[in-house]
Structure 1
Amino acid sequence: MTRTWTPSPARTPAAPALLDGRALGGLAAGAALAAGVVLARRVAGVARGSHGTSLRLRALDTAAGVLQRKRPLEAVSTCLNGFHFYADDLGRQVEATHLCSHRRPGLHQCVIYDSDAPDARLIGVEYIVSEERFRSLPEEEKRLWHSHRHEVRSGTLVAPGVPQAAEHAHVEHLAGTYGKTFHTWQYDRDDEVPLGVPQLMMAFTGDGQLRPDLLRARDQRLGVSAERKRRQRADVAVGGPVPGADAWEHGTTPQLRVEEVPVRRPVRPSP
């Protein structure tokens, strides 16, 4: 008797198991927990920033902090810490925490605080342009700008909390850029509120200019080492500053002063 072989019916691959109720519940709980953490951090940050104000104002600040979008601040991508000095006074040196966003190719914009604490004072602004853009500026305008070459290579400009390789790539990009900085709050005078007119600030261009005590205190507080970063950035290659920047090095510099001027009023035609 001849025996015939009949193949077994092909097995259909099992369909991926759908998430059961327990898994879905876990995902929902995880998402809720993450959202709760973000919300709690936002509320805590607003509360710390509102320290010392009335209960009513703190409640209003907290509600606005939770409900409102702050899109320009959400675009901030980088926190940089460095030092500035008043353009006309090399002895007046201050630490500056920059929160920067990339406005367009060749242009960054930064808001500057005296620290990274929730209740930090907003002390100024800085605009950063590429070398190509800087070269295109009028000669008088260039005098308001400073180079970043020494800040980067000396290790004094840092990005706290960023891995060394990522920080290196970022500051290497900044080494050939130029900044225009105005401080609106002269907090080194311990003023309770911003007094006077904004002041043009500059950056250091060589060793021996920055006060060692300022650098040491910053490094200890942030847990960084400018000296170690200097060694790590020895490979950052950048040419000399473009003529026109760092005007203070030549003995004179622009600076803002108050001047009384006539008020212009629109001329309206007679009826």
Structure 2
Amino acid sequence: MTRLFGCGCRRTFTSSLFKSALLLPFSGLLTREAGAQDKPEAPTPGPKRTMKSHVLDTGADVLQNKKPIDAMSEYLNGFHFYADDMGRQVEANHFCTHLTEDFHQCVIYDSNQSNAKLIGIEYIVSERVFKSLPDEEKRLWHSHHYEVKSGELVAPRVPDIAEHAFMKDLVTTYGKTWHTWQIDRDKAFPFGIPQLMMGFTQDGQANASMVQDRDRRFKVSADAQKKDRADIPMPTVVSGANAWEGGKTVQLTLTEVPVKNLRR
């Protein structure tokens, strides 16, 4: 899924940039290859797939088109925390589709391997779109300025010149993220309800050992990326984003309600 030059995502991989990147020595294209995902994986319910399941899955893969999946051309690795508890932090592997110049949609997994668990989704919009949102809606969104400038967010295997341009564009965007699997509490099963997630906004918030572990596995360096991105202008965050910084936030809870239009 980690295509070397995935997409014209977030207006970054323009044709000229794409062509210039292709002119790089081939060895340079692999300077930051994602390492093997060696985090221990908790088993999901049920026995291993049978040969029958393998055959049926392979047949479906060959015969059916998967256009929404094929359109995912961008892979990002970063971190999220639960909007109401910064102590709960998780690694997030984003696989994204560029729908328009102002809108992207991503599915989020706990790893980048074929047996990865689907743990959430994220919608990403431009600053222009975010400014147009109602104030109540803005409370659900977080900025990406620090994730980019800190080097915390990376695009594994993308050459430095392309990733830098990529991040320069991403730094002004905003994301709304829901995790459907509370992987930090239950690695084997998606108990509970979706939870609103946020992104870090300053040094000292992210668990340093968590970032270091990611860097080791993916053979990247957040510190090195921070230095490389020092020339990217720090944007002014639009009012309304990162609402949790005020000490209060919104979060989903279970509430019993009557069923409307019930048919039996």
Shorter-chain TM-score bucket reads 0.7 to 0.9
Paired residues of 2:143 and 2:237 also in contact (CA < 8 A): yes
Amino acid at match of 2:162: A
**Which residue in the other structure is 1:239 paired with?**
235
SS of 1:188's partner is: coil
The correspondence for 2:192, drawn from 196, 217, 220, is 196
Cα distance per residue 1:115-148 (max 9 Å; x no partner): 1000000000000000010000000000000000
Amino acid at match of 1:127: Y
**Which residue in the other structure is 1:165 paired with?**
161
Matched, 1:121 2:121: no
Alpha-carbon distance between aligned partners in 2 of 1:243 and 1:161, rounded to the nearest angstrom = 34
1:171 shift after superposition:
1.1
Paired residues of 2:122 and 2:176 also in contact (CA < 8 A): yes
Runs (4 or more) in structure 1 with deviation over 4 Å come to: none
Bigger fraction of residues in helix: 1
SS of 2:244's partner is: helix
1:254 shift after superposition:
0.7
- After the TM superposition, which residues 177-256 of structure 1 pair with which residues of structure 2 at under 5 Å, given as runs? 177-256=173-252
**Which residue in the other structure is 2:104 paired with?**
108
Paired residues of 2:171 and 2:235 also in contact (CA < 8 A): no
**Which residue in the other structure is 2:86 paired with?**
90
| CA-atom RMSD in angstroms | 1.7
**Which residue in the other structure is 1:14 paired with?**
none
1:58 shift after superposition:
1.5
1:266 shift after superposition:
6.8
The correspondence for 1:148, drawn from 144, 158, 167, is 144
Q: Which one scores higher on RCO, CA 8 angstroms, separation ≥ 6?
A: 2
SS of 1:219's partner is: helix
1:195 shift after superposition:
1.1
**Which residue in the other structure is 1:32 paired with?**
none
The correspondence for 1:138, drawn from 134, 140, 153, is 134
Structure of higher CA gyration radius: 1
So what's the TM-score if we normalise by structure 2? 0.80
SS of 2:184's partner is: helix
So what's the TM-score if we normalise by structure 1? 0.78
Cα distance per residue 1:174-197 (max 9 Å; x no partner): 100000000000111134221111
Paired residues of 2:149 and 2:234 also in contact (CA < 8 A): no
Aligned length: 219
1:204 shift after superposition:
0.1
Paired residues of 2:146 and 2:200 also in contact (CA < 8 A): yes
**Which residue in the other structure is 1:259 paired with?**
255
Paired residues of 2:80 and 2:200 also in contact (CA < 8 A): yes
Amino acid at match of 1:64: A
**Which residue in the other structure is 2:36 paired with?**
none
**Which residue in the other structure is 2:58 paired with?**
62
1:239 shift after superposition:
2.0
| Structure 1: stretches of 5+ with no match in the other structure | 1-50
